[in-house]
Amino acid sequence: MFNYVGPAKPLKEVTSRTLDHGRFYKIDDLWMPSVTTVVGHQSKHGILEWQNRVGFAEAEKVRRAAAWRGTQYHNLVEHYLKNELEEVEKSEGLPTYLFRSARETLDRIDNIHAIEAPLYSRTLRIAGRVDCIAEFDNELAIIDFKTTKNLKKVEHLEKFFVQEAAYAYMYYELTGIEVDKLVTLSVAEDGTMQVEQRYDKNPYMDTLVDWINIYHEEINEGN
């Protein structure tokens, strides 16, 4: 059984909407781009090149399969961390196989502050929904759950840590609690696990600020 301690301060729900250029959250009277939108903006050119290479139909097929796999896996992990074992036990298919492959790693999580919780920063003017804030191996962490067809090289994980650093900053701004580290937990379709942890958040925060500025500059140029 996982222990749920809750956030240091209440995290209020926020309104969101999806537009052509990303997902936005309404904080006070301001619509802020999601962290995923800002980070994803950096990959758009590479994604377009890949789509042109494989064709739109094949690209869309891959995107839909990845989205379904990720959503179903996240749902199982969320049920598991909330001690809702009945929901986990009645599941089947690829997401269940991925969950069972990850279960031993997931058991390293405890003292959960938040699961799928809304976060935002008035300073950075971004928002998002964090997968999990909890202790991992007894150290408070931002934890991101990823599924993938094949495990990625470590150098290709930077964008995940940038995203997690954003959540760490937002959680500190809202609660005054600083996390110890950033954790990316990836599981591939063959069942192999990848656990990557980072303690120094500063390089990723520097990158985040650069990416936020680039996002706003390019979006404003397109308007």
- Pairing assessment for the beta strands 30-33 and 22-27 based on DSSP bridges: antiparallel
**80 backbone φψ class: left, alpha, beta (φ>0; ψ -120 to 50):** alpha
Q: H or E segment at 208?
A: helix 202-222
Question: What pLDDT is stored for residue 54 in this prediction?
Answer: 76
In 3D, which of 125, 162, 169 has the Cα closest to residue 144? 162
pLDDT at 87: 76
Does a structural domain hold residue 59?
Answer: yes
Q: Does 46 fall in a domain? A: yes
Mean pLDDT per block of 10 residues along the chain (223 residues) reads 94 91 92 94 73 76 80 93 85 89 97 97 96 98 95 91 98 97 96 97 97 88 59
Answer yes or no: pTM beyond 0.85. yes
Tokens of 163: 């995203």
Residue 1 lies in a domain: no
pLDDT at residue 65, rounded to an integer: 75
Q: Is the residue at 3 inside a domain?
A: no
Residue 9 falls within a domain, yes or no? no
Residue 222: per-residue pLDDT:
59
CA distance 70 to 164: 17
Give me the domain span that covers residue 78: 15-222
- Residue 192's domain is classified under what CATH number? 3.90.320
What's the pLDDT score for residue 45? 63
pLDDT at 221: 66
What's the structural domain count of the chain? 1
With respect to residue 153, please indicate whether it lies within any of the assigned structural domains: yes
